[in-house]
Structure 1
Amino acid sequence: MGLDASRLGSMVDHIRRDLPTVDSVLVVRHGYLAVDEYFGSFATEQRHRVFSCTKSVTSTLVGIALDEGLIPGLDSKVLELLPGHEAWNVNQWKESLTLRHLLPMASGIDARDDYPDNWLWLDRMLGAPDPVQYCLDLNVTVQPGSRFKYTNANSHLMSAIIKEVSGVPALDYAREKLFTPLGITDVEWEADVQGVNWGHDRLYMRPRDMAKLGFLFLRGGKWNGEQVVPEGWVSDATTRKMAADIFPGYGYQWWTGDGFYCAMGYAGQFIYVFPSRDMVVVFTGRTSTNFENPRNLIRDYILPSVTG
């Protein structure tokens, strides 16, 4: 597999000894599961909350729906895609809002819900009697497409759009179009009070299934000879669209960097894809402070372990 087993073993020992908030680490190289380690009380077959890695799943469903013709195009207007909702305080910016703005976090929606700094505003969305309506009623204070602003409301609106155009909640659509083709059967995805799966969070899945998603993208959306996700979408979604903060860039609900892209979730959830190294790395965790642990482990152990 072209990996230094000794260096990877040292990483596992380091995690067990020094990093109690890491729950699992998986490394897939050349299609083989080279590292599959679990720590503390976390079990191999246990589902893990993936937090904002959910966003990457939501955007993937948008790509599938576009390919099926359920959504006319990326320039489809959000208000027209959700005809059952009448938005409040519509200005020219809100009226012009499209999927092309939601996907790269460039909607201009003033949600102030980018946790962990704004739990209160996020809780307002979570506790609203109609969270989709809540998101639509938020002010659009920046011209869409002009500025990156990480906003959970964008992702939940996309889940609502998937439900609207497909006629089923995002979880059901994902089971048919994404999870079942990959052999992913043990998932949970919480929904809001209106039955819309939370587009930004609340998806629970096994780390091995997270690795399957990463490997699907590594292989251009193909799984066992079947094109599950359009190849063009995989390329487009993982290409930098906006300059970002935590990582250098942001695509369509995927973070982008030098030689990699990743799904990232609060508390230490990551699906890293390294195309040139033919490698996928998954981390799950439960930290509220040490968000750098996975990146440090990749830098100090995983990347140096690649031998060929």
Structure 2
Amino acid sequence: MNPSSLSSKLQQIVPQLDLRSCLVSVRGEIMFEHYRNHEAATDIAKINSCTKSVLSALICIAMDKGLLPEASTPISTFFPQLTSDPDPRKPAITLEQLLTMTAGFNWDEFGGQNSFPRMTRTDHWVDFALEQRLSHVPGTYMEYNSGVSQILSAILMQNAGMNVAEFAEHYLFDPLGIKDYEWESDPQGVHTGGFGLKMLPVDLLKFGQLFLQQGMWEGKSLISSDLVSRSTQPFITVTPPNRGSYAWHWWVDVYPNGRSDSQNIAAEDDQPNLHYYYARGFGGQYVYIVPELELVTVLTNDKRKKEKPPLDVFPRLIAPELWKML
């Protein structure tokens, strides 16, 4: 891949999209950096559900340090009250099933009685999430659910002996040089596992680079390479309109996805696929990691509902340029 030619191509594509920011790093060097204005570069902003991938990293760190048990551990270990739940499947839900959104809870993320907005209006978010009935056999179906992220955040806080933001500062943010952030918390003081973190785009790039480097940062292992790999491996295929697979609070995909849709792609069928994984937040927040190209891309946006951000900027506009350079 020729970084300079990619940079010039992105210079033609990105500014007209009116993104808040777009940063592209190749082999640890920022080769393209675009901000809508000065504030976009210097002011922290909501990363929405990219928070989930940060939480996943913290869970991995806690596992590495022996503060959390293995991923197959049932959640009744942390919430013994679940053993008296009328559904015998619920206490057996595992940490991994929470991380992969396959816990089986009946949940409608953005609406209805069992939703993320309703959870945030209750006095006890974790209890609300745990009380939902199961509509699927745990481990068999991915249902996007910020409630399980809150459960995971509570488990981490319970086992780490400190709140989640303090744990993040000690084991992730400080080593990466991340000083400027804000993190919301629920009525019990549990930091929001599924959203609510504000960061700078350049710090999101560091986070992505850490994963690209298999958990290594400046010669020190912050996350074991085993858990970096495991947490970003496809666990379950997602249902439309989502694409690809889901891992431990990371999305996983491949480009081109559905080659038969394009004659040009079909004609070049001998070219390798471009595998990548990414954090995704509502409204256009993304951190993409493309291991085989040693590339990290951060996209952020802050458009209001009436000014919908462009969808699929990476797979639609950036990935095709990367794929040409394979």
> Is TM more than 0.5 here?
yes
CA pair 111-10 structure 1, distance change in 2 beyond 3 A: same
Write the distance in 1 (CA, Å) between the matches of 2:320 and 2:213.
26
C-alpha deviation, 1:89, in angstroms: 4.3
TM-superposition CA deviations, 1:153-173 (whole Å, max 9, x none): 111110000000012111111
TM-superposition CA deviations, 1:247-285 (whole Å, max 9, x none): 311111111112111111111111100000011011001
TM-superposition CA deviations, 1:63-105 (whole Å, max 9, x none): 111111112211222132135x668844111111110211111
| Number of aligned residue pairs | 300
Query: Where do 1:202-281 residues align within 5 Å?
Result: 202-245=196-239, 246-258=242-254, 259-281=275-297
Q: Which residue of 1 aligns with 2:301?
A: 285
Paired amino acid for 1:11: L
Kept after mapping to 2: 8 A contact 1:267/1:286: yes
CA pair 97-183 structure 1, distance change in 2 beyond 3 A: same
Residue of structure 1 aligned with 2:23, choices 16, 21, 26 = 26
Q: Flag as ranges the 4+ runs of structure 1 deviating above 4 A.
A: 85-89, 117-120, 300-304
Query: Where do 1:161-200 residues align within 5 Å?
Result: 161-200=155-194
TM-superposition CA deviations, 1:223-251 (whole Å, max 9, x none): 00100011100000110000013231111
Q: TM-score, normalised by structure 1?
A: 0.91
Write the distance in 1 (CA, Å) between the matches of 2:94 and 2:311.
32
Query: Where do 1:124-163 residues align within 5 Å?
Result: 124-163=118-157
Write the distance in 2 (CA, Å) between the matches of 1:163 and 1:303.
41
3-state SS, counterpart of residue 200 of structure 1: coil
Q: Which residue of 1 aligns with 2:267?
A: none
Q: Which residue of 2 aligns with 1:8?
A: 7
TM-superposition CA deviations, 1:164-183 (whole Å, max 9, x none): 00121111111101111111
State which drifts further: 71-80 or 158-167. Answer: 71-80
Write the distance in 2 (CA, Å) between the matches of 1:12 and 1:172.
39
Flag structure 1 segments of 5+ consecutive residues without an equivalent: none
Kept after mapping to 2: 8 A contact 1:267/1:291: no
Write the distance in 2 (CA, Å) between the matches of 1:125 and 1:146.
24
Kept after mapping to 1: 8 A contact 2:74/2:95: yes
Flag structure 2 segments of 5+ consecutive residues without an equivalent: 255-274
Write the distance in 2 (CA, Å) between the matches of 1:26 and 1:118.
37
Does 2:118 match 1:102? no
Q: Which residue of 1 aligns with 2:263?
A: none
State which drifts further: 74-83 or 208-217. Answer: 74-83
Write the distance in 1 (CA, Å) between the matches of 2:2 and 2:140.
43
3-state SS, counterpart of residue 142 of structure 1: coil
Write the distance in 2 (CA, Å) between the matches of 1:164 and 1:256.
29
Identity of aligned residues (%): 29
TM-superposition CA deviations, 1:199-230 (whole Å, max 9, x none): 00011101111011111000100000100011
3-state SS, counterpart of residue 108 of structure 2: coil
State which drifts further: 8-17 or 56-65. Answer: 8-17
Kept after mapping to 1: 8 A contact 2:82/2:90: no
Paired amino acid for 1:297: L
CA pair 88-122 structure 1, distance change in 2 beyond 3 A: farther
Write the distance in 2 (CA, Å) between the matches of 1:188 and 1:9.
34
Q: Which residue of 1 aligns with 2:265?
A: none
Kept after mapping to 1: 8 A contact 2:15/2:34: no
Write the distance in 2 (CA, Å) between the matches of 1:61 and 1:33.
25
Structure having greater relative contact order (Cα 8 Å, sep ≥ 6): 1
Paired amino acid for 2:288: Y
Write the distance in 2 (CA, Å) between the matches of 1:55 and 1:118.
22
Paired amino acid for 1:3: P
C-alpha deviation, 1:118, in angstroms: 5.7
Q: TM-score, normalised by structure 2?
A: 0.86
Write the distance in 2 (CA, Å) between the matches of 1:148 and 1:233.
21
3-state SS, counterpart of residue 168 of structure 1: coil
Write the distance in 2 (CA, Å) between the matches of 1:269 and 1:297.
16
Paired amino acid for 2:289: V
3-state SS, counterpart of residue 157 of structure 1: helix
TM-superposition CA deviations, 1:102-157 (whole Å, max 9, x none): 111100011211x3x66982211111101011111111221110111111111111
Q: Report the RMSD for the aligned CA atoms in angstroms.
A: 2.1
Q: Which residue of 2 aligns with 1:112?
A: 108
Does 2:87 match 1:91? yes
